[in-house]
Structure 1
């Protein structure tokens, strides 16, 4: 905007709309400044404030609606102008129309002070178009015009050739999927695409202004008009343009991908908005009519005008579907049709590049100096794109599982989990990665590949493990242990996915290290403690997942995992205490732990109060130390207590002195042992799990009784049916959930806080079905042999030490040339002391029977010692990841919260608007 006079004139126009009611269409001096005066988006967003917009909307609604109509009418006129780009004035006015609409539309979705919503009036009600008198529906026309602007010749794509007469040129922006060469777009085209994509996101942002739980039953008519459009050519060009632009590689040579400027590079901003638009278009599903809101119309906007040439000149990736797709999201349909190897190569290579760039940026010197992640790298967006591709394209999952770099992808994803788990701002990314890993673990080929050696060189030194001879499965289990022991309330939904990851991989585990084995058993100690089990209802699911891990190992991989079997034998009391589970004792234990924690917190409060009153620092330090000791005792008790938001906390201590006797390979197995192993070449049978959840912020878990088929408990006749009852219909799942609620009563744990109150019926619903008997039988059988081996090793060691001590004592006698065994001599006190100490040291060094035990557990002798497990043999099948309503709601909320956050800079597109989907907390 030229100067202060122009800004003042523009502000007067804004005030006039609020103060002067019913301005006529002919009052050009009131309308035209909105597309004539601003020089850029900053002018629009700084001079038209949220307070101004609400004042016009609430006190002069007719002017608010007419302003939108007039600006849009001007946009249509300019869009249809030939040689648009040859006249810079027209281009500026068109961009200003886009900017004004971007500024105004979010306030259309807000709830007015009188509790009314004017969205239907402004966007979806038929009324005369200004200037022409013809009736039109603004919302439909606005969506159509915005999509056309993304492909307007000379404005967002290069000028059409002489043979192309149309102003709208549906073509793919960048090379990649469906396009082998780039259009050669200019920086003006890039900048214009950014502004139009910003408007498209705003038009589709109706979802932000409804409660999260309603987003699956209330339609988004703008998204519907695009995703369910009949113009296949438009959809294909838009889909490929968004994918290719999102993954565009801007070569930077040896430079670190870091730009510290306040303003984002236009190409980066375009990639970000393209990825966001792609996500919301792929995510949208039209709600069923019967599930729609009573106060919200269900009908959605009709399709955009069909292109008569929509079936010709289509991109190369198109497959002929053969049928009318009907009510399907065509973006999902077409992305599921990707099948060529070069297409998958392009997608996987560029997703890995984005993740690698973000990882290198985090590990750069600049990032370590600034103590924060570098700007404008998109690891979370890359992870979401990977998940979306895996969910919507099964051949891509097969391609990824078989790819040579799949294990590197696995390692990089685990790196981002370890790097972000302690930061609440990265909880969304950590959870996204947990879903990806869970989804991949359902494939037996991928689970088997995790047994390959793990190269720690890609990790920073702070994340590397001491043992260098680890597999990817070792690194995975150590990562799971680290995250669960961190006890972050915002990661509670992630914990289920991590335990399911370990559970799905467990039938294929081989040669895990002693350190990993001890951590896995330590984790089981925590989760199987009676107080922990009853502190939250979903803790039982975690227990079931871990018991299934040990059940699979015992039946299929016992001889392949001597270290784990040894750790389990040493900790067999953890399994036996479950068989004798007593709910009254568990309640008493939990009450005691909560009382201790309450006292510890009170002590901390008193300490802080005394410090504020000027007490000596020593007093405060003693109180803090006392509280720390109290919390430490709670940690060692391995029980969790509910936090303020009812999430559970997990306390665990990592043993730093664990030994790792790796390097023992499994010898050739007998026919009997081979018969107990699964055939890795035969695909595991997989049944889909039905998940039904009514809680938007709850875990996406199966009902408790869905785990019944996975266990035998004390009934040995159930082994063959293990897993058959796991996959229920949604109706049965709902019934079981209702039953579970009847068994467990909520109680009051304090003012405004509810605590889970388990009952005997609730315990009986899951305890008898735990597969404890075969596990305990195996551990008891092995314990007898391990005790025998221990005694033999100690006996042999003592005899050898006694002989060595006698020889050493004889050598200390002066002038003695007689053999020790033929003429023993008496020893002086000093010599005897030396001999005894030497012998003691020898015994201490040789008495550890662990090496011998590990060798025996890897041998055929151990297989022969196992009891008959044929009747309890579980069927190998993964627990699948289903798209429950709660998961869909969480994912949709994550997408829109990311879009909201990215729109805060530089203009604050949705800032200070009344979003309902999530809570916005402004930093001080």
Structure 2
């Protein structure tokens, strides 16, 4: 905490911001904002939410001057880093001459500027960053001042002092013949300055003896692009955290756009950062962020400690991972004007192919961070990425399986890590080919299924579940991947008990595991994943032509799923349910025909035993559907009159799962990340009595008709299967005497009961494997392979993706803010024993109390002291009071 005098001076400066109008740029007031505060808590406690908003609403010009002045000070400190960030040994050095320090901003006369120590320079730099972090979210949240905001940051008017427009302005006083430097908008100058601070010796990098403290684009960690350790300290890492958090805050304008608008409108700050073609900067940033993230190893700790659950290194890695994702996943809007952003492209505009500056701008409309991520190709780099991602994603599994519960650090990065893996698979074909050809993909498939299955019922983790399922659909479009899933799954027994499958056959493959887990996701999620059923079945369709020798248990699950999807009441529950059973029919047909029935004789045998179900679907009438719906309603009414809670009845509810892009973010106290319940969404939910499978419909209330039924029923992919059911007994007479398949109720009671009671006839299976394709397929049938179904990146899908990413960032900041029980000292200060500059690094919730539009924020009740978090009652009360003070209701 700062001294009483400095706190009072800072608070008085805050009062003047909204009590006076048009404070001049030269007023000494502005110095207080970077000189007086001694911690992040000083700024967040003394410059409250209401005071930031009051300044914005009643004295906007003062807020503008504040932003300009702190940005100017940052630029000055960076431009004079040789003086301020290196140890001062000789104050009369030529580098500290009056001409070198004359222009410090619009408010300081040259005679008043004196050399400052490295500690003072660091504190001023951090305070400037914290002021920017404090005020920008409240500028973003007010849509009415968008035009003012764009003019401030991206206009080329006259609010920006010369020192900010041109950092070399001071030097030109002694070098009049020096070439003029191009002017930059304030937004460009701010981003460039903060990026440079990430590579400033004495601030974020260690000083090198004998070298000036100038910007050094050096990769922070060994790994991709670097084999030479740079070294670091707790203080340097604390400064990195502050700089990264400030950049994330600047780019967080995305939170204040709706999911439908953000993908097309974009964020100018992000567009400028990702479209800047400076290869040296881009490679230094992306390699530093990647290596810091991938090299992190949570390691072991003493369980149940009372010192807090976060450490500075974990916090640094969190920010690195999140900023990396914001950069590599950003799509630049098609109409973005790079020249208006201040980007200077070296190539000449006047060419035969490029007629105008606007055409030239569009030519360079490229995300360079995504481009270089896709260019990684060295085997050691690809292995480095695969090993690191696998290790980090495996950490929760290993923690659960540990003999010492709580003995491993818990990390909450699953959504971000899955996003990074997805980006690498999509953008880097070499990485995708490497993990598939080396069979590393099997590990990732199991991990994705683990997260999807573990959190399938957790409404706060629906975004993570969706990510996993969409990644599976993406990689299933690769035929080589599909073929390699036929490999035997030898390590099934090493899985956590929750992920082991009862009745697992030792010879079963990864494909069996994926298909059975898919069935489990659909049948045991109580309708929470209804919007994901099409993607799950699309994945099966992509895999089907390449799968072979699927196990009997897998075949049984496919039949159970078919029984559920083909139920008359389910088919007419909404306008699209029939598409689900049709996808499953097409997948099973491909498993039998396109991949030759000989290799999947178990499936063909199981289908024949379940022939009554297929015949019933073929002969289904609209009247039969309505009759079953009425029957279910009578049963539902009867049970509702009883106890009202019988599993397996048809249930109708409003406000269930939806496919809207807006995600709900629960705050840190609920440890939630996201939820699919979009504003204004509605759904009618129907459950099948046999499996609990449910489907949501966004048609509000759907009324089926005979015409609608006829439009799809005759087009179901039943032709091949029904033909085989007719002709197979002619070739294998014993098929006519096979018992019918066990009922779905018995299968639901015991997953393996049907297999135990009805063992397949080995001679029949053998006969099916030796049948000739040409003799049993229709004469008109022509074998063909359709294009795989890839995940479609629509505007709604992009909006949803951004909402999950920024929702995770928001929650992590709130989690960090609440977990630090040490108040102003902050986690970093507690670890390093420092005060002042690094104090409060992890303390504040940056976006708390602002009106976010990208997702919804739901406050949940705070968790009190427990055995796992044994804070005292006094601490808990103080923490609760602090939260109430900082949350605007």
Q: Same fold (TM over 0.5)?
A: yes
CA apart distance, 1:856: 4.1
Q: Superposition pairs for residues 599-748 of structure 1, below 5 Å?
A: 600=639, 602-603=640-641, 623-624=642-643, 627-629=644-646, 631-634=647-650, 643-645=653-655, 647=657, 696=661
Query: Does residue 723 of structure 2 align to residue 777 of structure 1?
Result: yes
Distance 1:260 1:876 in 2: 58
- Give the match for residue 535 of structure 1: 573
1:229 correspondence with 2:276: yes
1:52-82 deviations in Å (ceiling 9; x for gaps): 1001111111111111122222222222222
Q: Deviations over 1:530-556 (max 9, x none)?
A: 321232333233222201111112313
- Per-residue displacement from partner, 1:211-267 (whole Å, max 9, x unpaired)? 110011113110111111131211111111111111123474x66999875362222
**Residue 923 of structure 1 aligns with which residue?**
860
- What is the 5 A alignment of 1:259-278? 261-262=307-308, 264-278=310-324
Query: Where do residues 862-881 of structure 1 align in structure 2 (5 Å cutoff)?
Result: 866-868=776-778, 871-875=781-785, 877-881=787-791
CA 1:256/1:212 → structure 2, altered by over 3 Å: closer, same or farther? Answer: farther
CA contact (8 A) 1:129 1:136 kept: no
Distance 1:588 1:764 in 2: 17
Residue in structure 1 matched with residue 793 of structure 2 by the alignment: 883
- How big is the shift at 1:161? 6.5
Matched residues in 1 for 2:344 and 2:535: separation? 44
CA distance in 2, matches of 1:364, 1:420: 20
Q: Which one of 544, 561, 564 corresponds to residue 523 of structure 1?
A: 561
- Tell me the equivalent position of 1:841: none
Aligned to 2:420, which of 377, 381, 385? 385
The structure with the largest alpha-carbon Rg is 1
Q: Deviations over 1:734-771 (max 9, x none)?
A: xxxxxxxxxxxxxxxxxx98213344454444433322
CA contact (8 A) 2:185 2:342 kept: no
> What's the counterpart of residue 819 of structure 1?
none
- Which secondary structure does the structure 2 equivalent of 1:264 belong to? coil
SS of the residue aligned with 1:157? coil
Deviation, 1:305, is 6.3
User: 2:72 — aligned with what?
Assistant: 73
1:104 to 129, 135, 142: 135
1:574 aligns with 2:613: yes
Contact 1:208 1:916 in 2 (8 A): yes
* 2:432 counterpart residue number: 397
Cα 1:258–1:233 change in 2 (3 A) is farther
Q: Which residue of 1 aligns with 2:813?
A: 903
Check 1:136–1:515 CA distance in 2 against 1; reply closer, same or farther (3 A cut): closer
Counterpart secondary structure, 1:92: helix
* 1:658 aligned partner: none
| 1:508 is aligned to 2:546 | yes
1:176 alignment counterpart: 223
Corresponding residue number in structure 1 for 2:180: none
Residue 61 of structure 1 aligns with which residue? 60
Residue 432 of structure 1 is aligned with which of 449, 467, 487? 467
For residues 165 and 496 of structure 1, what CA distance do their matches in structure 2 show?
60
Cα 1:438/1:791, change in 2 over 3 Å:
closer
- Alignment of 1:914 with 2:860, yes or no, is no
Could you tell me which of 583, 592, 597 is aligned with 1:545? Answer: 583
Instruction: Specify the alignment match of 2:235 in structure 1.
Output: 188
SS of 2:461's partner is helix
- 1:258·1:376 contact (CA, 8 Å) conserved in 2? no
CA contact (8 A) 2:599 2:769 kept: no
Separation in structure 1 between the aligned mates of residue 260 and residue 249 of structure 2, nearest angstrom? 21
Aligned counterpart, 1:137: 185
Separation of aligned partners in 1, 2:851 and 2:147: 12
**Residue 462, structure 1, aligned to residue 498, structure 2:** yes
From 322, 327, 331, the counterpart of 2:365: 327
Cα offset, 1:50, TM superposition: 1.2
- Structure 2 gap ranges (5+): 88-116, 166-182, 348-360, 664-697, 741-754, 818-843, 862-889
Cα displacement string for residues 868-896 of structure 1 (whole angstroms, at most 9, x for unaligned residues): 46625342542222322222221111111
Give 1:132 deviation, angstroms: 6.0
Deviation readout 1:714-753 (Å, 9 max, x if unpaired): xxxxxxxxxxxxxxxxxxxxxxxxxxxxxxxxxxxxxx98
Alignment of 1:742-891 (within 5 A): 754-782=700-728, 788=734, 791=737, 850-852=760-762, 854-860=764-770, 866-868=776-778, 871-875=781-785, 877-891=787-801
SS at match of 1:561: helix
Q: Compared with structure 1, are the counterparts of its residues 307 and 467 closer, same or farther at alpha carbon in structure 2 (3 Å cutoff)?
A: same
**Distance in 1 between the 2:794 and 2:436 partners?**
24
Q: Indicate conservation of the 8 Å contact 1:774/1:872, yes or no.
A: no
Check conservation: 1:256, 1:360, Cα contact below 8 A: no
Tell me which moved more, 127-136 or 14-23. 127-136
* Deviation by residue 1:323-362 (Cα, 9 ceiling, x = unmatched): 9962111112212211111111111111111112232123
Change over 3 Å in CA distance of 1:288–1:757 after alignment to 2: farther
1:588-635 deviations in Å (ceiling 9; x for gaps)? 4335435644664x54xxxxxxxxxxxxxxxxxxx43xx344x4354x
Partner secondary structure for residue 920 of structure 1: strand
- Evaluate the alpha carbon distance shift between residue 539 and residue 266 of structure 1 in structure 2; reply closer, same or farther with a 3 A threshold: same
Q: Deviations over 1:468-493 (max 9, x none)?
A: 41221221111111110123444233
> Deviation at 1:576?
2.5
Q: Which secondary structure does the structure 1 equivalent of 2:264 belong to?
A: coil
The 10-residue stretch of structure 1 (184-193 or 222-231) with the greater mean CA deviation from structure 2: 184-193
Q: Return the alpha-carbon distance in structure 2 between the equivalents of residues 916 and 97 of structure 1.
A: 27
Structure 1, residues 453-512: CA drift from partner, whole Å, max 9, x if none? 212133112332232412212211111111101234442333222212222222233332
Aligned to 1:120: 150
- Residue aligning to 2:101: none
Shift of 1:444: 2.0
Structure 1 residues 864-873 or 388-397, which shifts more? Answer: 864-873
Decide whether the 8 Å contact of 1:442 with 1:504 is kept in 2: yes
Confirm or deny: 8 A CA contact 1:518 1:567 kept in the other structure. Answer: yes
Question: For the aligned residues, what is the CA RMSD?
Answer: 3.4
Looking at structure 2, the residues matched to 847 and 419 of structure 1 have their Cα atoms a distance apart, in angstroms, of 31
**Superposed, which structure 2 residues align to 1:484-499 within 5 Å?**
484-499=522-537
TM-score normalised by structure 1 residue count: 0.72
1:155-170 matches, within 5 Å, as 155-159=203-207, 162=210, 167-170=214-217
Q: Does the C-alpha gap of structure 1 residues 490 and 580 become closer, same or farther in structure 2, counting only changes over 3 Å?
A: same
Please tell me whether the aligned partners of residues 40 and 130 of structure 2 are also in contact (alpha carbons under 8 angstroms).
yes
Deviation of 1:273 after TM superposition, in Å, equals 0.9
Aligned counterparts of 1:152 and 1:848: Cα–Cα separation in 2: 72
Q: Which has the higher contact order (CA 8 A, sep 6+)?
A: 2
Aligned-residue offset at 1:390: 0.6
TM-score scaled to structure 2, two decimals? Answer: 0.75
Q: Residue 406 of structure 1 corresponds to which residue in structure 2?
A: 441
Instruction: State whether residues 609 and 739 of structure 2, in contact with CA within 8 Å, keep that contact through their aligned partners in structure 1.
Output: no
Matched, 1:472 2:510: yes
SS at the partner of 2:701?
strand
Please name the residue that 1:740 is paired with.
none
Equivalent in the alignment of 1:219: 266
CA distance in 1, matches of 2:542, 2:636: 35
Shift of 1:103: 0.8
**Number of equivalenced pairs:** 719
| Native 8 Å contact 2:75 2:164 kept in 1 | no
CA distance in 1, matches of 2:270, 2:3: 39
Change (3 A) 1:15 1:448: same
| Structure 1 gap segments, 5+ residues each | 293-297, 309-322, 604-622, 635-640, 649-693, 699-751, 795-844
Per the alignment, residue 745 of structure 2 pairs with none
Is 2:44 aligned against 1:45? Answer: yes
User: CA deviation digits over 1:142-179, x for unaligned, max 9?
Assistant: 111111111122211233575x6572221211111111
The structural deviation recorded for 1:574 is 2.5
Residue 789 of structure 1, CA deviation: 5.5
For the residues of structure 1 that align with 2:565 and 2:426, how far apart are their CA atoms? 31
